[in-house]
Each structure stands twice: as C-alpha cells, then as structure tokens.
Amino acid sequence: MNTTNTTTRELEIAPGVCTPMLGLGTWPLVGEEAADSVARGIANGYRHIDTAEKYGNEDAIGEGIRRSGIARDDLWVTSKLSLPGHSRAGAIHSYDAALGRMGLECLDLYLIHWPNPQLGGYVEACRGLQDLVDAGRLRAWGVSNFKATHLDEVLAAGLKPAVNQIQVDPQHPQSSLLEANAARGIATGAYSPLGRAGEFLSDPAITGPATAHAKTPAQIVLRWHLDAGRLAVPKSASDARQRENLDVFDFTLTAAERAGIDALDTGAGPRLDSDAYGH
C-alpha cells in the first residue's frame, strides 16, 4: 500500500484503491468561478477534484463535473465533512447531504475535515464512514488535520483511515506527522502544497533544480511532493497554470535536490492547531 514510482500518476491508498496523485484544489472558489475552473481543469487533464462542505462550493463542483462531459467513473472526487458529521449517524447524513449538493451518486474519498476533539465524536464519525465503505457506497475514507494522537485513537478503535490530508509545503513539512502517517500505513495528502505566499519559490534550493530540469519552481515543489509519495491538491483557475501543474511526470529530483528542499523547513507548525481550531 502507499506505493509509487517516478512515472505513475496514481497512489494506492487502500488495497486495490488507487487515486490520482495530483488533484485540483477548489478553495476558495465558489459559484460560476468554481464550476468553470473544474470543467476547464478536467479538460486540461485533471481526474482528481478536491472540495469540502466548508468551502461552500460542492454544488458548483458537481456542476463543473457535469459540464466537463467526462464520465463519472473516470474521475476521483474527494470531499470533507464538518461539525454536523461528528457522530456515526452524522457522518452518513453529511455524506448523503454532500451527494445531494453535488448531484452525484457516490464519492471516491470522504474525509473528516478537522478532528474537533472537544466534541469527542471523531472516532464515531470514522465508524460511520467505514459503514459507507462496507456498504459499497464510498470507495475510501480518511481524515484531515489529524495529529498522531488523534490517529492512534482511531486506530485503537479498529478503524484505519486511508489518507490524512494536512498542510505540507517546503517551509512547513510537518516531518514528524509525515513520519507518523507513514508508520501507521496512512497515505499523506498535502493541501496548500505550494504554500500561500510562495516566497520559498525564489529560493536557490528550488530555482536551481528548476533550471536543471527546465521546469518552473512550482513544478519542482510538486515533484518534491510526488517523489515523497504524497498526494497534492494545488488550486488554480488558470488554464496555463493547471496544465503546468500536471506537467511533472517526466522527471524526478535527485537525492541532493530533495535534501536541499527539505532543508527549507522553518520548524514552524501548520497555520492552525487542530486541537484548538475546527469546523
């Protein structure tokens, strides 16, 4: 499980379940902008679309999928539940509500967006998501922004998420959490994979490999994620940038180049502490 190589576009996140490694992020796009971005993203080659209840755009994402004309079976669609889903029945209800908003019969991956430990309900929510998989209504389930302590509580209940989607970029790699995911056989998904301000894109550790491989700095960072076996969901509404972000499967970074990017780690944690923040 969690296998990859230098040319594959997919990652096995559960036995026999493979997802495209690069997905199209959609936050904070809403309405027509979101629908248009998704339709064009699919036309540009994306087959993995990432959204969430909290983004307020699931309806637009569904519209973009329909507008694309691509068969549903050829796409991987991920969404995430919020606070109302933090119980066994609540997770199932949230899933059904998401399907209704999107106009889809099923999702491929459904995540708990934040652990919200103060509610004490994320383990039962995981149980509800496993019920959906067992019933054949969902291909895989996972979590987002979970710390190792949260993961261990889920695992202790006999449940195993396929993915933990977390903030990862060269300055905020969350190395200990990456190691925790790997040690537990859980795939890592990276949101904000290119950061927000993107100041590190001008660092020689990235511009050097960009010159060497005739790629852009953003492509180098996405390849850094892929070489580590991570899913990544960069957001872009630009045709040129969408195509650029997908054009990263014809090269790999050297060990020295990867180490140089790893060294950009500032030691800072994620923007938000999942023990204190959630929705």
Cα–Cα–Cα angle for 79, 160, 27, rounded to 5 degrees: 20
Q: How big is the CA angle at 214 (ends 210 and 218), to the nearest 5 degrees?
A: 45
Distances (CA, A) of 269 to 181, 249, 273: 16, 29, 8
DSSP 169: B
Is 122 among the residues known to form the active site?
no
Q: Please state, in angstroms and rounded to a whole number, the distance separating the CA atoms of residues 116 and 270.
A: 16
CA-closest candidate to residue 78, choices 151, 141, 168: 141
Active-site residue, from 46, 55, 110, 191: 55
Q: How far apart are CA 130 and CA 162, in angstroms?
A: 11
| 171 and 268 Cβ atoms separated by less than 8 Å | yes
Residue 142's DSSP bridge partners are 111
For residue 167, the surrounding DSSP H or E stretch is: strand 163-167
Q: Which residue has the tokens 């919020």?
A: 82
Which DSSP category does 45 fall into?
T
Give residues with Cβ within 8 angstroms of 161, minimum separation 6. 126, 141, 142, 143, 146, 151, 154, 186
Catalytic residues: 55
